Amino acid sequence: MADFRTDLVNELRNQKYYLEQDLVRLVNNPITSYKARLDEIKECLFEIGKCNTAIALSDVYLPEQKQEGRPQYVPEQETEEGDIVTADEPTLVPQPLKGQSHSE
């Protein structure tokens, strides 16, 4: 069964992406009149706001459902020693010490 919430959020994100592309085009288009550009930009911003609100509300009204019966793919990782580590095994990642910009 398809995940309705995921499909909805993907559709909204696609719509938002194309609206943002249109907004960039409108801002950089010197051919149209100033008043027309303002009106079109305002409308485009309202539509982007609607998409953002709809995406946020999808978390509230359509919470993510966990699919317990379906196994998820977990890629295997190979260590420097050649051992294969799966996601079930905890791996220790060295953390930088206080004052270090990166771990050495």
Cβ atoms within 10 A of the Cβ of 9, count? 17
Give yes or no for residue 62 having a pLDDT over 80: yes
Instruction: Report the C-alpha gap between 42 and 44 in whole angstroms.
Output: 5
The H or E element containing residue 78 is: strand 77-78
Note the pLDDT tens digit of each residue in 81-93.
666 655 555 555 6
Rounded Cα distance between 73 and 86, Å, is 11
Is pLDDT at 69 greater than 60 in this prediction? no
Number of helices (H), then strands (E), belonging to the chain: the values are 2, 2
Mean pLDDT on 5-13: 92
85 sits in which H/E element:
strand 84-85
The predicted structure's pLDDT at residue 87: 57
Kindly state the average pLDDT of the residues 3-32. 91
